Amino acid sequence: MRFQVITDVGGIARVSAYYAEVWDATEDVLSSETLHCIRHAGGATIGAFDGDELIGATTGLFCPDGSVYSMIAAARPGAGHPLKLAQKDWAAGLGAKSMRWTYDPLVARNARFNLVKLGAVVTEYTPDFYGPMRDGVNDGDESDRLTVQWDLTGAREPHESVPGGEVTKIAPDGEPLARTDGERIWCRVPRDVVQVRKESRELAKQWRVAVREVFVDAFAEGYAATSMSREGWYELERL
C-alpha cells in the first residue's frame, strides 16, 4: 500500500469519481473543479493505492487557526487507518497541531474508528449540518453530524467503553438508550444504521431524534464523547 498527494488532472478526476461511487451519488460529492481549488489553496487530496488501484482517498484544507479540516475520507477495509495517518503526517509536516472533521453520530463503526482507533474526542453536535442530502447513503435522513477533534501532537490514550449505571432513556427498539452513573453518560446507537434505514426509514428517524436529544443535552452540560464500545455505546465524560 502506498500513499500519494494527488495533483494531476487525471488523478483528481479519478478521486472525484471514487467519492461519487462510495457515496452512491448521481452527482459529484466533490467535483474535480472543487478538488483542484482545494489543492491550489494549499490543501491536499491524498490517495491510497494497492499497485495502481485506488483503494482510498481523503481531502483536507487548512483553516485560519492553523489546524486542518478533513472534508472527506473513504477507504477499503484495512486502508482507513493508514490513510488517516498519512493525512496526519502531511498536516503535521506543514505545522498543523490538530485536525477536525464531522461524521454521522449514528454510524457506530465510524465512531469507534475515530474515538478508539485514533484517540480523538467529540465536543460538538450539529443537527442537520448539511441540510438535505441526495446521495444513496444519506438520502431521506437529516444530516446531523458530530465534530471530531484530533490532537496531532500527542494522542489521547483510548479506552474501551463499558456502559453502566441507571437507565435514563429508552431507545426506539425498546432497549436502553441512555445510562448514567452520575459522572459519565452512555448513549447507544444502532449496530448498523445503514441496515436500519433500508428496513424502516421511520425507525431510523426515531433513532436520529432520540440520540440527538441525549447528545445536545450532554454537550450543553460540558460533556465530550471519548469512547465507543463494540456493542454501540458512546461514553461521554467531562474532560
Q: Confidence class of residue 156 from pLDDT cuts 50, 70 and 90?
A: confident
Task: Determine the pLDDT at residue 234.
Answer: 98
Q: Confidence class of residue 23 from pLDDT cuts 50, 70 and 90?
A: confident
Which strands, in side-by-side order, build the sheet including 44-50? 2-6, 44-50, 53-62, 68-75, 98-103, 145-151, 121-126, 224-228, 233-237, 185-188, 176-180, 166-170
Structural domains present in the chain: 1-96 (3.40.630.30), 98-239 (no CATH)
pLDDT digits (tens, 9 = 90+) for 202-239: 999 999 999 999 999 999 999 999 999 999 999 999 98
Distance CA 149, CA 97 (A): 11
Distance CA 89, CA 198 (A): 38
Task: Determine the pLDDT at residue 138.
Answer: 57
Q: Name residue 148's beta-bridge partners.
A: 101, 122
- For the cut 80, the answer to whether the pLDDT of residue 27 exceeds it is no
- How large is the average pLDDT for residues 57-85? 96
Least confident of 13-17, 57-61, 126-130, 173-177: 126-130
- How large is the average pLDDT for residues 147-163? 88
C-alpha pair distances (Å), 145 with each of 89, 105, 126, 185: 25, 6, 5, 19
pTM, whole model, 2 decimals? Answer: 0.91
pLDDT digits (tens, 9 = 90+) for 93-109: 999 999 999 999 999 99
Task: Determine the pLDDT at residue 133.
Answer: 60
- For the cut 70, the answer to whether the pLDDT of residue 136 exceeds it is no
* Greatest Cα-to-Cα distance within the chain, rounded to the nearest angstrom: 56
Task: Determine the pLDDT at residue 139.
Answer: 57
